[in-house]
Amino acid sequence: QQQVKQSPQSLIVQKGGISIINCAYENTAFDYFPWYQQFPGKGPALLIAIRPDVSEKKEGRFTISFNKSAKQFSLHIMDSQPGDSATYFCAAREGGAQKLVFGQGTRLTINP
Amino acid sequence: GAVVSQHPSWVICKSGTSVKIECRSLDFQATTMFWYRQFPKQSLMLMATSNEGSKATYEQGVEKDKFLINHASLTLSTLTVTSAHPEDSSFYICSARGILGAADSGANVLTFGAGSRLTVL
């Protein structure tokens, strides 16, 4: 059973455009939602994270939107650049637990 | 800060041999380490969680006798793939959780290693 569902599987965006990746979850005990960026042959790197007591968090060109009632959260990349081309994973962690549950990943390609 | 070093970055071995992968937290004490496996174009699948000085907790379906995990110190955990076979070929990634800075005022961190590509011939 996939606890965190991520879409789309792949995404192509023109340079300067907005990239949007969505995730949905079922477990209401999740209380921490990070997004990771992974380049080929490398480990994931934390991009931005949010807790469910806020509806939006922005860091530079990256924004997380969080809808607690719908149990959905999304990553928006503004002014997308070719260097943003990577695989993005959303994740969730249950309060009190230590392990992360990852979404399936989205392969993002930014065309120049 | 919060750097995790994973070694080797890639390894090729013959079927039937054992391979050890190391994960070190360089500037913080990792009370918990996680080991993941990632097949090409797929997500990270948690294999096991290890707390320093304790036996690792394995996820359902992961053979503990095949994937030996040791977390003997607060800065080092190892994953040994025993009697490796071609189907064990994968990208193995560790992550370390701990406190960066003073124990009573530092920041909780969770950092991933760069991964180890294992190819079993």
Indicate the SS3 state at residue B36: strand
C-alpha distances out from residue B6 to A4, A5, A73, B20, B76, Å: 27, 29, 31, 11, 10
What would the mean pLDDT of B29-49 be, rounded to a whole number?
93
* Tokens describing residue B121: 């011939």
Maximum CA extent, chain B: 48
Is there a contact between A43 and B6 if contact means CB atoms under 8 Å apart?
yes
Q: Does B115 touch chain A (CB under 8 A)?
A: yes
Query: Looking at beta carbons, which residues of chain B come within 8 Å of A44?
Result: 44, 93, 112
Please report the pLDDT score of residue A91 as a whole number: 96
Please report the pLDDT score of residue A1 as a whole number: 58
Comparing alpha-carbon positions, the chain B residue that sits nearest to A86 is B41
As a whole number, the mean pLDDT across chain B is 92
Please report the pLDDT score of residue B100 as a whole number: 78
Rounded Cα–Cα distance for residues B24 and B81 (Å): 18
Residues B70-97 pLDDT 10s = 998 999 999 999 999 999 999 999 999 9
Burial of B102 (0-12, 13-18, 19+ CB in 10 A): exposed
Please report the pLDDT score of residue B107 as a whole number: 76
Closest CB from B32, B112, B117 relative to A44? B112
Maximum CA extent, chain A: 43
Please report the pLDDT score of residue B99 as a whole number: 82
Choose between B101 and A3: higher pLDDT: A3
DSSP B65-95: TTEEEEEEETTEEEEEE-S--GGG-EEEEEE
Closest CB from A42, A99, A103 relative to B114? A42
- The confidence band for B103, taking pLDDT boundaries of 50, 70 and 90, is low
Residue B96's Cα: distance from chain center in Å?
8
Rounded Cα–Cα distance for residues B108 and B93 (Å): 20
Mean pLDDT by 10 residues, chain A (112 residues): 89 98 94 95 94 94 96 98 97 83 96 94
Please report the pLDDT score of residue A2 as a whole number: 66
Strands (DSSP E) along chain A, which ranges? Answer: 4-7, 10-14, 19-25, 30-38, 45-50, 56-59, 62-67, 72-77, 86-94, 100-102, 106-111
- The confidence band for B54, taking pLDDT boundaries of 50, 70 and 90, is confident
* Residues in chain B, overall count: 121
* Residues in chain A, overall count: 112
Using only the alpha carbons of chain A, give its radius of gyration: 13
- How many C-beta atoms surround the C-beta of residue A64 within 10 A? 23
- The confidence band for B62, taking pLDDT boundaries of 50, 70 and 90, is very high
